[in-house]
Structure 1
Amino acid sequence: MTLNADDCPCALAVASMLDVRLISDLCGEPDSESHHVVYALGRREEPAAGLSGFAVTPQFKSMGDLEGFCSKHKEAFEEAVQQDSFPEKWFWE
């Protein structure tokens, strides 16, 4: 799954300004009602390349919720870009 300007303009803008991507993962126990996909913005861990994974948003059960979060907090993400580094702890943690 990818971000697009028609469905998720704010999430796409935040991902672009922070140079991160959409991360989707399966959560919950397989073969149970709690098994679902979650979405966040960040980078996946790449151990072979020596890169740690991280998220710049919480995980959401829908792309619409991720878009809403990015829309609501776009200014906070812009401040992180102006500081030219990611904070040790994000405002939502």
Structure 2
Amino acid sequence: MSDVPRKNMWQVAVAAGPVAPDRLQDFLAARPGMRMNCGVVYGEFVVTSLPTEDALLIADETGDIRKGTKSVGVARQYTGVAGHVENAQVSVHLS
């Protein structure tokens, strides 16, 4: 939704303005409902932006197995790629 090339919270916060990025991260982390509300807002934006009523939006959750823990979101979690709990990074892709 922004012009920031990499969409992580830190870079979006830096682009947003004068508030320190860690303060914005703390704000969103402390309010789990905020993430759900953001999903509703983005969902409404996507639905109203689709060119026709018969357009199709596909959400695909993908798990990538990771050996280390340096990448954002890496944790021991279930991923379909491995078929069990593994050190992985899960992402959601929309097309």
Q: TM-score range by the shorter chain?
A: under 0.3
Mark the structure with the bigger radius of gyration: 2
The structure, 1 or 2, with the larger RCO (C-alpha pairs under 8 Å, 6+ apart) is 1
Name the TM-score, length of structure 1 as normaliser. 0.26
- Which structure's residues are more often strand, by fraction? 2
Name the TM-score, length of structure 2 as normaliser. 0.26
